[in-house]
Amino acid sequence: MKNSIKVERARNNITQAKLAEMTQVSRQTIHAIESEKYLPSALLALRLAKIFNVTVEEIFQLEEGDV
Amino acid sequence: MNTLKLLPRWCRFLGLAIVIPILLMCVHNPDVIFGDIPFFSANDQPIECNVLGIFDNSFQYDESGELQIFSWKKNDLFNEILLTLMLIGTYLIAFAKIKSEDEFSSQLRLQSLTSAIIWNSVLLFVLNFLVYDGMFLYVMASQLVSFLLIFSIIFALKIRKFKKGLTHEE
């Protein structure tokens, strides 16, 4: 599963540290999600979508082989 | 979201303060776990008292010739106390919160737990074919705490690896 958190962060001018603070997780969690080493929980995914004011599907997309 | 019930962060430091001196004593003299304390002479029994044992070195028979499984005996409790402290210490280290505890660290804990089971089994498998006779008792004794120690080391290394990767980002 790929995600566009880095793009959304750049678009909204939010640093990893700020996003971590807003979602109540650590910066290393945001880094792990961006580098696709960790799949967030549904709760965290919904929080991220709310912060960027987009839907969850716009941030997280299935890749070939995930279906 | 973090559903794991963990101990406060300071417990890790308390655990380390307990485990490190006992480990050093075990490295200095592995017989510590069987009651041979380095700073006491062989005849010293610092905490000798009557204890209830399920069975002794040999099963005891009472006057009627019946097998007596439960019996009172004199025993020095020093090594039992050391082992209890070691178990408590390793639990404190393994299950204390880290600075940034969240759902990602919970995932790392789970991965570390799985790795620890595998590595502990590999260690036991290898030592089973390398250590024989009475010396195998030391292997059995080390297994009491080795799993939690291996888990703590793997978890600390995983956290360190991710923290290291962070410095190049932002």
Per the domain annotation, does B133 fall within a domain? yes
The 10s digit of each residue's pLDDT in B88-117 is: 999 999 999 999 899 999 999 999 999 999
Continuous segment of H or E residues that includes residue A21: helix A16-23
- Residue/partner pairs of B82-85 with CB below 8 Å, 24 or more apart: B82/B22, B82/B25, B82/B32, B82/B33, B83/B33, B83/B144, B85/B18, B85/B22
Count Cβ neighbours within 10 Å for each residue of B12-22 and write b for 16 or more, e otherwise.
bebbeebbeeb
State pTM to two decimals.
Answer: 0.85
For B7, counting Cβ atoms within 10 Å of its Cβ (0-12 exposed, 13-18 middle, 19+ buried), the class is middle
ipTM attached to this prediction: 0.90
Domain that residue B150 falls in? 98-170
Q: Is residue B159 part of a domain?
A: yes
Mean pLDDT of B33-46: 65
B170 and A24 within 8 Å at the Cβ level: the answer is no
**Full set of structural domains in chain A with CATH:** 2-61 (1.10.260.40)
Secondary structure in 3-state letters for B85-133: HHHHHHHHHHCECCCCCCHHHHHHHHHHHHHHHHHHHHHHHHHHCCCCH
Chain A residues with at least one Cβ partner in B under 8 Å: 15-17, 24-29, 31-32, 34-35, 38, 40-41, 43-44
Instruction: Tell me if B9 sits within 8 A of B97, measured CB to CB.
Output: yes
* B123 pLDDT above the threshold of 70: yes
pLDDT value, residue B21: 92
Decide if B152 is inside a domain: yes
pLDDT of residue B13: 96
Q: How confident is the model at residue B26 (pLDDT cuts 50, 70, 90)?
A: confident
Domain count, chain B: 1
- From the list B102, B165, B169, the residue facing A29 with the nearest CB is B102
For residue B48, is it within any domain? no
A13 CB neighbours in chain B (<8 A) are none
Task: Give the pLDDT confidence of A1-44 residue by residue, as tens digits.
Answer: 899 999 999 999 999 999 999 999 999 999 999 999 999 999 99
Asked whether residue B167 is assigned to any structural domain, the reply reads: yes
Cα torsion A30, A32, A34, A39: sign:
negative
- The CA distance from B92 to B99, in Å, is 15
How does B99-123 read in b/e, with b if 16+ C-beta sit within 10 Å?
ebbbbbbbbbbeebeebbeebbeeb
Q: Is residue B68 part of a domain?
A: no
